[in-house]
Structure 1
């Protein structure tokens, strides 16, 4: 046993050593809570970009009529026309704002997500999820008020930061994946549950895409934001009152209600005064030290010397490439569709988004059980990367509505690579470190999301005048990189046994 690792983990001792509880129907409320969260997040993502686009257009070109043109009579790719110039300026300004928003969301999220999963290992999944949902709810409340009062668009950057203060949707997914790991055995069953979990999120995103355009056009941005706010309120209620804890017990730094090791008030005071933990006869570590150790636990898989270290590094590299090939793409697609030669309405953008999500996260994931009968996880991931690359190439050269609507059909398996790599990592990891693993993965995903949203939006801003599809070629290149890394993983995976889990 690795003594250094043992010392690192002594303050983060697992609540149980195996699957902590047997699956019960009430555990499905985790999917309900995350479905509601995904509904709210997708609705927010769809309306906020269009709200900023409209606000920017009204501010920069208050007398222009092209942004209210319902018949697309001015939607032509004539680079010398006034309408093309105005649309390009608004596109670039909105893309810059969206880039700043991505940074505002990612900075607090990456800090909290790196410790959230490990903390959920210690205090329980439900408590961690409730904190996450409550802060997201608070950020959406401020956003709704800001739209009602017509705040400056840069105030919404602060609201976005508050919304992601506890990790946002990435932090919630981190807890959700750890929750699924608690109630399932390692293997095909867990892979299926993780994939179905992603499908429930996909359903929420699909529904949001279907209804967002109609809500925006019929009721305006304020009521669309209000819908997101109400969905988050219901999600908080579900997490607090309906969701059971997936861990059999919860322990704190000092948990006075633990039946197996009761601690009276006097003992607590003596512990605090002496600086000694009476339960272990070891010096108590301060909060800062514990947090540092918690963060370390989330990333030790990739740095601690072990037989599986290289496999972890290759797998997380595949995950990074897969995230680079997808994250941030939807927001660029909104700007892409608002621009010539498409100039889509909010309803058509919503339909395209719902079709995209439904094809990859519902239809594609629904086929996972059939695919698992014939292929292992890494083969499915390669098929997914090919699907994603081909769809991005088509999107980059799309010239009319029909070609753009063909993109979701090619991307039908495009999302599967991400849950497949998560499942592979989960199978390689001991049960009591699942929360730490997914916390590290969530932090990586947030960093990639921030980088993607900054770098690729810069590419879009600087190529929208020349070849607007350049950014989608970049997305396709990351899918090709993921294919190469998956081939490397296939060559090396036989060197270790995935089922040989070291309980260190």
Structure 2
């Protein structure tokens, strides 16, 4: 059987120098990328708790008296009927949030595969525009739904717009492409990417925390207006101050998606020896399973924390999520740097997977706050 060395990259590396000419001022471009990234991801991630708690509140109002949410508490202390109604609210909210999340994430696969190759024709900024228009449309749909009191299923239209424009994946890929254009391979590029990811993680954490304070009394309109303002500002900055880093060739006869493009994607898993191909396939399967679990876990965890036996408030959930994001990012950054000196990549993956399983199992049986903090911050 063919063998492959542990430290040998699975993706083929082209011969010769891979350095790209820097056609804009790197520091200026990098600062603009950070500012636009903060605005974009801050407003995008703020939409998730807004939509999540709006759906829960509207479902609660449906089962309350005179359309008041307060009549159906998340953790009622009254008769069995109240507890039963709370369970119905929890189940119905979970179903709606599940379908909304599925629409956005499933559709997002199409533009990421189709539009990614168009950056060679229209430049790196093309995915920025596309992604910003998508989130702006989602914000408008969400705002109209809240102001007009439309059906919760109308929110699926916003998820469709977000998904068909690449969700956050296309925007993130374009950002990394720009970083690659203005840096040379090696330490400088790694540092720039690390700083960018750290900045975005901090921005998202504080965005989630701020939204938690803002929506704790059921105020969804003002945060939505703020999200629209941030998206519009990021779009203006992209149009006016962000420089293009890739040479465009609009006359080149490139189709949006051809058979050769799709074959090139499959060739990544087909070319090479059997051992390499097997590792690539297994790695992709593991990645898809982990991403699916992470995307579906957010709503479930929030509903679990809101109801018995923990009975957290919306603000508690958002504060917990915010600090968890900061702790996890810091732990990953420091932990991987230390573990790489002693463990192989696949061993680190196994450790991370076991830790995630232990955290989820512990959380499922948590009945005290300290157990939740233990399993989320230390496991």
Corresponding position: 1:297 with 2:254: no
Does residue 26 (structure 1) correspond to residue 28 (structure 2)? The answer is yes
The alpha-carbon distance between structure 1 residues 197 and 216, as it changes in their structure 2 partners (threshold 3 A), is same
Aligned-partner Cα distance in 1 for 2:53–2:212: 10
| Structure 2 residue 115 is matched with structure 1 residue 116 | yes
Structure-2 residue corresponding to 1:43: 46
Residue 464 of structure 1: aligned partner: none
State the 1:85 CA deviation.
0.8
Counterparts of 2:187 and 2:266, CA distance in 1: 25
Q: Where does 1:261-272 land on structure 2 (aligned, <5 Å)?
A: none
Tell me the residue number matched to 2:298: 330
Q: What does 1:414-425 correspond to in 2, within 5 Å?
A: none
Report the alpha carbon displacement of residue 41 of structure 1 after superposing the two structures with TM: 2.1
How far apart are the structure 1 equivalents of 2:286 and 2:195? 21
CA deviations 1:283-341 (Å, max 9, x no partner) are x68x46x4444444344312x43345344323323322332442221121111112111
- Structure 1 Cα separation of the partners of residues 194 and 262 of structure 2: 26
Contact 2:46–2:227 (8 Å) recurs in 1: yes
Distance change in 2, residues 1:297/1:178 (3 Å) = farther
Separation in 1, partners of 2:157, 2:243:
33
Contact 1:202 1:362 in 2 (8 A): no
Query: Map of 1:3-402 to 2, 5 A cutoff?
Result: 18-22=18-22, 24-28=26-30, 29-62=32-65, 67=70, 74-75=76-77, 81-186=80-185, 193-217=192-216, 220-247=219-246, 249-252=247-250, 254=251, 287=255, 290-302=257-269, 304-307=270-273, 308-365=276-333, 368-372=336-340, 375=343, 377-402=345-370
Partner-residue secondary structure (3-state), 1:160: helix
8 Å CA contact 1:104–1:157 kept in 2: the answer is yes
Whether the aligned pair in 2 keeps the contact of 1:37 and 1:169 (CA below 8 Å) is no
Alpha carbons of structure 1 residues 351 and 190: separation in structure 2 relative to 1, 3 Å: same
- Asked whether the 8 Å contact 1:20–1:246 carries over to 2, the reply is no
Secondary structure at the counterpart of residue 168 of structure 1: coil
Q: How many residues were matched structurally?
A: 360
Query: Taking structure 1 as reference, are residues 20 and 130 closer, same or farther at Cα in structure 2, changes over 3 Å only?
Result: farther
- In the TM superposition, residue 207 of structure 1 has moved relative to its aligned partner by 0.7
Tell me the distance in 1 between the aligned counterparts of 2:21 and 2:299.
39
- What does the per-residue CA deviation read over 1:357-412, in whole Å, with 9 as the maximum and x for residues that have no partner? 1111245335554555555544443333333222222211110222112232124x
Distance 2:29 2:227 in 1: 24
In 2: Cα distance, 1:38 partner to 1:323 partner? 18
Instruction: Report if aligned partners of 2:58, 2:69 keep a CA contact under 8 Å in 1.
Output: no
TM-score scaled by length of structure 1:
0.64
Question: Per the alignment, in what secondary structure is the counterpart of residue 351 of structure 1?
Answer: helix
Give the Cα–Cα distance (whole angstroms) in 2 for the partners of residues 388 and 189 of structure 1: 31
Distance 1:66 1:136, change over 3 A: closer
TM-score computed with the length of structure 2 as normaliser: 0.83
* 8 A Cα contact 1:118 1:297, kept in partner: no
Contact 1:21–1:246 (CA<8 Å) still a contact in 2?
no
> What is residue 495 of structure 1 aligned with on the other side?
none
Q: Look up the SS of the partner of 2:333 in the other structure.
A: helix
d(CA) in 1 for partners of 2:195 and 2:344? Answer: 17
Q: Quickly say closer, same or farther: Cα 1:181–1:392, change in 2 above 3 A.
A: farther
Extract unaligned runs of 5+ from structure 2: 1-13
Structure 1's 376 and 362: CA in aligned 2 closer, same or farther, altered over 3 A?
same
Please tell me whether the aligned partners of residues 75 and 83 of structure 2 are also in contact (alpha carbons under 8 angstroms).
Answer: no
How far residue 51 of structure 1 moved from its aligned partner, in angstroms, is 0.4
